Amino acid sequence: AIKQNVRGFPRPQLDISATNIGKIVEQAMNTTLDPPFNPYENSLNFLIASYIIPYVGLTGYVGANPKLLTPQARRLVAGLLGVESAQDAVIRALLYERGLSRVASYGVGVAEVTAHISDLRNELGRRGVKDEGLVVVPGEGPEGQTVGNIIAGDRYSLAYDRTPEEILGIVYGTGSPAQAGGFFPQGADGRIARGLLM
């Protein structure tokens, strides 16, 4: 759908290796894990690794939508947002069911790991809280009514938005849209990303 609607759609190098995802989880946990986190070791680790990206894309689509100029672009983003939202909800629901489970070898709960990943995404985005883990303090959950947080949203239960600069800082793992790394070691592609790289 993207290639049919956006001419010359870029396909940058994407690093989803166990080593790279392990580094991202260590960055979120602010520690060196022993043994290193391996997203492909078991289904729980895979779910945790899967938690890292879909929500970032979702917030990027929400942020991009008002800036789109053509009906085709808006339709494409609406379709992608619907699918990305569903993916994120399924991943969060499956992880929420395992929220008190311990992540093998590390002695921390699943909910704690997701909170650290969400905190890292907020830190790298550099624009305040636009991300929340599976469990939040009372008053910060959906409409201030619950601590369970399967579907993250603002105080009105609306999806948060992120700018392209925020998204790039997060997926690069550097906090800077001008410094490639993380999932895109050579940088993302497209006019905005290329224009921001150092």
The Cα–Cα gap between 43 and 70 comes to 40
| Closest to 164 in 3D by CA, of 94, 63, 65, 55 | 63
Q: Are 193 and 164 in contact (CB under 8 A)?
A: yes
The Cα–Cα gap between 138 and 63 comes to 27
Residue 23 tokens read as 């580094």
Q: Which of 25-29, 52-56, 64-68, 183-187 has the highest mean pLDDT?
A: 25-29
The Cα–Cα gap between 94 and 29 comes to 21
**pLDDT band at residue 196 under the 50/70/90 scheme:** confident
Where do the domains of the chain lie? 18-27+39-162
Adjacent-strand bridge partners of 144: none
Within 8 A by CB and 6+ apart from 116, the residues are 28, 29, 30, 133
pTM value? 0.88
Q: What is the pLDDT of residues 115-133, one digit of tens each?
A: 999 999 999 998 888 888 8
Q: Which of 64-68, 72-76, 171-175 has the highest mean pLDDT?
A: 171-175
**pLDDT band at residue 24 under the 50/70/90 scheme:** very high
Q: What is the pLDDT of residues 146-188, one digit of tens each?
A: 788 888 787 788 888 999 899 999 999 999 999 999 999 998 8
Q: Are 115 and 123 in contact (CB under 8 A)?
A: no
CA torsion sign, 115 to 117 to 120 to 126? negative
- Find the range with the poorest average confidence among 32-36, 45-49, 138-142, 145-149: 138-142
Q: What is the mean pLDDT of the chain?
A: 87
**pLDDT band at residue 30 under the 50/70/90 scheme:** very high
